[in-house]
Structures are given as C-alpha cells and as structure tokens.
Amino acid sequence: MKEFLKSAAFKILVAVALFLIGIMIYAASTGGVSTIPATITGAIVTPLQSLASAVSDGFDSFVGIFTDSNALREENEALQEEINELRKNQVETDELRRLNELYREFLELKEENPDYQFADGRVISMDPADKYGNFTIDAGSLKGVKADDPVITPDGLVGVVYEVGLNYAKVRTILDPATQVSAYVSRTGSGGVTGGSASLAEEGKLRLNLLPRDSGASSGDYVATSGRGGIYPEQLLIGTIVDIQPESDALTMYAVIEPFADLKNLTAVFVITGFDGQGENVPE
C-alpha cells in the first residue's frame, strides 16, 4: 500500500480528482453540471474509471495472493505433519527390525548354548571420555541382571556387569584393566589371564598375560574363555591374537588381542544371567 501511495498513478489520480472538483465547483457557480461539455466529461471520467478498475483489480489480486498464501501455508503444514508421521513410522519400523534381528541372534545363541539364561539390553549411555568404553544398558535387576554377569554380543565377549539398578546396569568392558578373564589360546590350549591397558585401549585391543614362553601361540590364533573362576562360561570367544611379546621378567609372554566384538559401536548386548557352573570355583 505504501508503494501505491508513492506511485505516479496515485499522483495522477489525485491531480485528476482535484481537477474534477474544480470543474464541479465551476459548474455549480455557472448553472449546473449540465453546462460541462460531455466530451470533456467523458475524456476525464473514462480514464478515471479505467484507473479505478485497475486499482480494484490490483486489490483483488492482492487479496487473492493473500488468500492463496494462507491456503499454501495450510497445505505446507499438512504436508509437514504427513512427513513427521512418515518419519515416526520409519523409526518404529527400524526399531522393529532391530528387535527382530536381536531376537534372531538370541535364538541362535540359545540353541548353541541351551544352559544359558539371557537378558537383552540396549546401550543407553557411553561416556566418550572413558577410554575403556564402559557403558550403561537398560536392563537391571528386574530382568534378573546382577553384578559379575558376563556381557556378550553374538560376535564375542564384551565385558562384565559391575553395578546394577532396577532398570539399568553398568558394564565394564574387556579393555578395562579391572576386567580380568581366565582365557586360553584355542589352537594350543595355552592358558593366561586377560588384562587391559590405557595405551592398548586407544587401539581397541587388550592383552593375554602370563603365557608360557613355550606356549606356541602366534598371530592369528583365537582366544576364548576357559571357564575358570565361575564368572564366565567356557569357550566364549574373546578375540584374535595380533602380536606376541616377551614379558619384562623374560619368563612369560603376552599376546595382544583384537576383540571379535565391535566395542566402539555397540547398540545392543546380551547379559548371561545364568549358565551351568556359574559361581563354581570362585576364589574366596
């Protein structure tokens, strides 16, 4: 509207209106409007009618644009709601797919280990500042989870539960030095104890300590749990040996292990809440 008031058309309209007012005043003083020649009247009124029509059309167009804008906004809002609903449905579909995959893996593990009792859990928090990758899951005592329960994925051992609430549990990974697991080299049968270190944890690896010098272990060998201590069942896969080094005492060796489980990208795990032999031969 401000642009129209400043336009040349508006100025012409005002000038013509003033001119007409002058003619009307003149006609009134000389005997009436009928004294004004028709040709003059037509010449003046016709352009004014056209201008008025143009202004009216412009106003109608403006109102039409405004109305169309409201309709478009309502249509966009409806489309956005539809998009949001589709996104929500996609999230639900992804969740169902994840659960389906999780339960499929659960059934496979259950078939392979009929004595195992499981609780599934989703990783709900992981401190990025924790160099060992320790994390929290959404399964606790209400699902039968307790301290010292092993935590696994279908790929291998992940760690052990060290704190439990009603609906959560905190897990310490096998990269943490505080997690020590009796293990052995599957090819040679040589036994040792796993342990972590800050430097190895940065590479996502851990150690198998106390290997005899004549163990015969070498890179590429698999390491699994031995079952000693009653916390971990036998033959849970841990990882692959990628290096063998002598200990400083020159009496034993240690192996560097790359875990089978992808500890950096965990989203869901299984807690073994019971198995044959659990709690047996636990040191006092």
In tens, the pLDDT along 71-97 reads: 787 778 787 877 877 776 776 676 666
When mean pLDDT is compared over 107-111, 169-173, 261-265, the highest value belongs to 169-173
C-alpha span between 239 and 191 (Å, rounded): 14
Mapping DSSP to helix (H, G, I), strand (E, B) and coil, where does residue 91 land? helix
* Short-list 130, 181, 129, 125, CA closest to 152: 181
Q: Residue 134 phi/psi, 5° resolution?
A: -65, 150
- Per-residue pLDDT, 69: 74
Start-to-end CA span in the chain (Å): 90
What are the structure tokens assigned to 284, written together?
Answer: 């006092």
Q: How far apart are CA 38 and CA 34, in angstroms?
A: 8
More confident position, 159 or 8 = 159
- Bridge partners (DSSP) listed for residue 169: 137, 164
Q: Is the pTM of this model over 0.85?
A: no
Residue 284 pLDDT level (bands cut at 50, 70, 90): very low
CB of 20 closer than 8 Å to CB of 26: no
What pLDDT does 84 receive? Answer: 78
Taking residues 124-148, what's their average pLDDT?
94
H helices, E strands: number in the chain: 4, 12
Residue 66 tokens, joined: 């405004």
CA 189 to chain centre: 42
- Residue 185's φ and ψ, nearest 5 degrees, are -85, 120
Give the span between the Cα atoms of 10 and 19, in whole angstroms: 14
Task: State the CB neighbour count (10 A cutoff) for residue 221.
Answer: 20
CB contact burial 62-101 (16+ within 10 A = b; e otherwise): eeeeeeeeeeeeeeeeeeeeeeeeeeeeeeeeeeeeeeee
Residue 42 has pLDDT above 60, yes or no: no
- Please give the C-alpha separations between residue 9 and each of 15, 85, 197, 211, in angstroms, as whole numbers: 10, 51, 84, 98
Confidence band of 261 (pLDDT split at 50, 70, 90): very high
Average pLDDT of the chain, as a whole number: 81
